[in-house]
Amino acid sequence: MVTSIIAIGALQETALDSMTRLTFSRKIHVPLAPDEAIDQCEMSYEAADGKKQKAAMDNFDDTGVMALICRHDIPLFFANIDSPGEQQKYSVALLKHLFSLIPPQATVVALYDVGCVLARSFEKYDILPDSIVSRLRFATTAMHAYSHEWACQLVHNPRMCTGLGLSDGEGTERLWSRFVQLIGIERSSSRQRHLWLIDRQATAIGLGMRADLGDWIRQRLKRGVKEQGTTAEEVLDRCELSIEDLQREWSQQRTSQLSVHVYTPARLKKELDTVLALQADLDTSDTALQSTRAMLEKGAASQDTLEALEALKRGHDRLMGKVEALYASLNIHD
């Protein structure tokens, strides 16, 4: 059912504004993908930058529109973007509204350009109740997935997620292409007329696509399941390995490549080099301490010797503190 954009506007005034004011408590964070990988993804995408301004806020009441569509590309809900960037609150509000309308046992997979970043926010903070989060999974869209970090792809690439099949998550891009004809008309229109035109266009698109669902399924069965399934079986036959062996090897490879010890971006490598250099200094200091102790055991020690030994101990303790602080800053999990 296509919901009027006016209803979504009301949603924005309540759910979005309330989430802006709330402070969410942190949860025990057990990352599915290394945080370093998600950090790189977040820095690489404009959609993950909630402060990046794409339109002049002084000239426009709304700077964009975010849509929630089903896997058949039929538009369900819209939210007006009235902030400088594409902030996470819009996605959260749309998902919260969706879950308020579906059965309590229904599960949802949300595909989004920066689904990995949004997933981490849900892992770290109590944004939505556990009754919703337990039924919600995130993935990136197929077109954008391959520019994400490899460790991120192992968890969030739809082609590597069980159960997603050939769903690509690019339906919103196809939806926007159907709205192109409104650009010229809306340049000189009022805000109310903008909303009305988008609402009418979305309604027409939804009605037409629901009427064509039979053709949609037939095309997917023919060009997707049948053709690509046959190609996949031919590739597997040439491997001359059993499915069980391939699955076991893939599971081991995935576990290894998701380890933060394997994923070492440039920043982490530099800090590891610093830790190794400090460790070498510690070894030198420890050798000097052992030599001094051995000398003291052979006879009476002078005051100068005791002072030198105390100075060596203080230097050794300082180096130990630096090494521990640097190692903790690397955020390496066992």
Residue 50 lies inside a defined structural domain of this protein: yes
Tell me whether residue 273 is exposed, middle or buried, using C-beta atoms within 10 angstroms of its C-beta: 0 to 12, 13 to 18, 19 or more.
Answer: exposed
Identify the domain boundary among 211, 232, 249: 211
Q: Which of 61-65, 171-175, 275-279, 325-329 has the highest mean pLDDT?
A: 171-175
The pLDDT-based confidence of 213 (bands split at 50, 70, 90) is very high
- 250-268 confidence digits (pLDDT tens): 999 998 888 766 665 555 6
Using a pLDDT cut of 70, give the percent of the chain over it. 80
CA nearest neighbour of 2 among 217, 176, 269, 207: 207
38 touches 122 (CB < 8 A): no
Q: Which of 110-119, 179-188, 321-330 has the lowest mean pLDDT?
A: 321-330
Q: Considering its fold, how many domains does the chain have in total?
A: 2
pTM, rounded to two decimals: 0.69
The pLDDT-based confidence of 25 (bands split at 50, 70, 90) is low
Residues 193 and 288 reside in one and the same domain: no
The pLDDT-based confidence of 48 (bands split at 50, 70, 90) is low
Residues 189 and 302 reside in one and the same domain: no
The answer on pLDDT for 329 being more than 70 is: no
What's the mean per-residue pLDDT of the chain?
80
Residue 243 lies inside a defined structural domain of this protein: no
CA nearest neighbour of 36 among 180, 200, 149, 191: 149
User: Which of the pair, 31 or 75, is modelled with greater confidence?
Assistant: 75
> What number is the average pLDDT over the span 98-104?
94
Residue 249 lies inside a defined structural domain of this protein: no
Residue 245 lies inside a defined structural domain of this protein: no
User: Cα(113)–Cα(102) distance, rounded to whole angstroms?
Assistant: 24
CA nearest neighbour of 153 among 38, 259, 261: 38
User: Cα(140)–Cα(148) distance, rounded to whole angstroms?
Assistant: 9
> What number is the average pLDDT over the span 68-95?
90
88 touches 121 (CB < 8 A): yes
User: Cα(38)–Cα(232) distance, rounded to whole angstroms?
Assistant: 30
Tell me whether residue 185 is exposed, middle or buried, using C-beta atoms within 10 angstroms of its C-beta: 0 to 12, 13 to 18, 19 or more.
Answer: exposed
Q: Looking at residue 12, what is its pLDDT?
A: 41
Q: What tokens does 280 get?
A: 């070498």
Residue 227 lies inside a defined structural domain of this protein: no
The pLDDT-based confidence of 179 (bands split at 50, 70, 90) is very high
Residue 201 lies inside a defined structural domain of this protein: yes
Identify the domain boundary among 211, 226, 242: 211
Answer positive or negative: Cα dihedral of 136, 141, 142, 148.
Answer: negative
Residues 162 and 303 reside in one and the same domain: no
Q: Looking at residue 2, what is its pLDDT?
A: 35
Residues 186 and 276 reside in one and the same domain: no
User: Cα(278)–Cα(329) distance, rounded to whole angstroms?
Assistant: 15
92 touches 127 (CB < 8 A): yes
Q: Which of 188-192, 278-282, 304-308 has the highest mean pLDDT?
A: 188-192
Domain that holds residue 100: 5-211
Is beta strand 136-139 parallel, antiparallel or unpaired with respect to 108-111?
Answer: parallel
The answer on pLDDT for 11 being more than 50 is: no
User: Cα(119)–Cα(105) distance, rounded to whole angstroms?
Assistant: 20
The pLDDT-based confidence of 223 (bands split at 50, 70, 90) is confident
**C-alpha pair distances (Å), 7 with each of 200, 284, 298, 317:** 13, 70, 88, 63
Tokens 């909630």 correspond to: 50
The pLDDT-based confidence of 13 (bands split at 50, 70, 90) is very low
